[in-house]
Amino acid sequence: MTAISPPGDLAGSNSGLAASHNQAVVLRTIRWSQPISRTELAQRCGLSKQAVARITEKLIDDGLVMEARRRYGLRGQPAIELEIDPQGCSSVGIGLGRDHLTIVAVDALGRVQDRIHREARYLLPDAFFAEVREALKTFRRHRAIDESRLAGIGVAFPDWLGRIPFIGMPERYALWEATDIRAGLGEITDRPIFIDNDATAAAIGETTYGLGAEIRSFFYIFIGAGLGGGVVLDGAAYHGAAGIAGEIGWLPVAPEGGLGPVRPLGELVSLFLLYDFLKSHGIEVREPQQLLALDERGRALVADWLRRAARPLAEAAIDIGLALDPDAVVIGGRLPVTLMDRLILHVHEALAEDSRPVPNVYRAGGSEDAAALGAATMPLAHALRLEAADPAQRTRSPLRGRSPA
């Protein structure tokens, strides 16, 4: 396995007061650089060999790290290499959107062990909790999770889920405004519950499943039933003072660029808007994969919509670049990969026509399950002391009440 250089500032302390910090540094370094020997750990972490020996012994006893193999070919005794133990802990991630429910079980390396997916529009709270209960039973039956090693359950869903009007939204969907998801899940499991919005969760997932090994600070544009955004700064999600950092759907942009009339970006780009555009031309589509099965006329309409959507996305990317100057703007979500690639190609074309400084724009490296995988990353980040760990996710509630619209 090729070692990946760990992020900067992973330095330990030989002070006796820094045991917890040092353990976190060692865990992160093993994760980013595995397989790695104790001698290499001491060098990379700036710790004494004795300190590394004590820390790794405890991590092995806790089941988080394992001695994987001996490295031969060097002088002296063969070095014993360390890795994160895949069975050391597990996690469940739930991605709830206005158009779907995805639940995944992952091991300590973030590898998916089981997956349950439903294309379901406007799932109501009672149905949601019933689906989660059955999913956990299935995961246990399939041995995808070990309850004693389950780090927790992460949940990702849009803020203001039952308040913001959406195409075809039933009145009863407002029940989400009065639903305490944390309390409801607490009746199903006694494991810790971690909550974040879907776009931020997708951004968190990108640090593990996508470009996070290469870029440390980025803005994630999430294309789902609606449009959202997440901010990652130096490997950790940034929520802002009011918890609305990244809510890019309200960003005013000119649909055709230039100085023309402006509209909120969320009224120009989303899966539901694409479906509605196709419906206006007599084509019924209700889920992303159906976009790949359209006839020639349908494909041409999708191609036209992607070209139109690229212009406001390019405008937004430029605004983000000027305001934050991140390493990159990453675009991901539920749009099928082939269509996402075409959309980003058009975004690059639009950026090439602009004279202002433009950021790097990439397709997200994670899959169409980005929100669910990001949700699963939250408990793992806490268990493995990763930079993405956010204690507030243990108490955070979804944004409700008055939206910033």
Q: Which two tokens stand for residue 283?
A: 């084509």
pLDDT digits (tens, 9 = 90+) for 196-245: 999 999 999 998 888 887 899 999 999 999 999 999 999 899 999 988 99
Packing angle, helices 296-324 and 271-279, rounded to 10? 150
Residue partners of 182: CB distance under 8 A and separation at least 6: 193, 195, 397
Residue partners of 353: CB distance under 8 A and separation at least 6: none
Q: Which residues of 65-80 are buried (b: 16+ CB within 10 A; e: fewer)?
A: bbebeeeeeeeeeebe
Residue 292 predicted with pLDDT over 70: yes
For the purposes of burial, counting CB atoms within 10 Å of the CB of 169, is it exposed (0-12), middle (13-18) or buried (19 or more)?
Answer: middle
Per-residue confidence (pLDDT) for residue 243, from 0 to 100: 87
Percentage of residues in the chain with pLDDT exceeding 90? 75
- pTM confidence score: 0.90
* Separation between Cα atoms, residue 232 and residue 210, nearest integer Å: 13
pLDDT digits (tens, 9 = 90+) for 237-266: 999 998 899 999 999 998 776 667 899 999
The architecture of the domain spanning 16-84 is: Orthogonal Bundle (1.10)
Percentage of residues in the chain with pLDDT exceeding 70? 91
**pLDDT confidence tier of residue 4, bands split at 50, 70 and 90:** very low
pLDDT digits (tens, 9 = 90+) for 116-139: 999 999 999 999 999 999 999 999
Average pLDDT over residues 274-302: 98
**pLDDT confidence tier of residue 1, bands split at 50, 70 and 90:** very low
Residue 188 has a CB neighbour count (10 Å cut-off) of 16
Q: Which residues of 346-384 are buried (b: 16+ CB within 10 A; e: fewer)?
A: bbeebbeeeeeebbebbbbbbebbbbbbbbbbbbbbbbb
Average pLDDT over residues 302-315: 97
Task: Tell me the DSSP string of 287-306.
Answer: SGGGGGG--HHHHHHHHHHH
Coil vs helix vs strand at 244: coil
Among 181, 157, 23, 31, smallest CA distance to 100 is for: 157
Domain 90-205+370-394, CATH class in plain words: alpha beta
Query: What's the fold here for domain 211-363?
Result: Nucleotidyltransferase; domain 5 (3.30.420)
Q: Which two tokens stand for residue 217?
A: 């600070």
Length, in residues, of the chain: 405
For the purposes of burial, counting CB atoms within 10 Å of the CB of 296, is it exposed (0-12), middle (13-18) or buried (19 or more)?
Answer: exposed
What is the DSSP pairing of strand 236-238 with strand 112-118? unpaired
**pLDDT confidence tier of residue 3, bands split at 50, 70 and 90:** very low
Q: Where is pLDDT greater, at 278 or 76? A: 278
For the chain, residues classed under CATH 3.30.420.40 are: 90-205+370-394, 211-363
Q: How far is the CA of 194 from the CAs of 185, 264, 318, 381, in angstroms?
A: 10, 30, 32, 11
Coil vs helix vs strand at 137: helix
Under a CB-based contact definition with an 8 Å cutoff, are residues 235 and 303 in contact?
A: no
Residue 8 predicted with pLDDT over 50: no
Residue 113 predicted with pLDDT over 60: yes
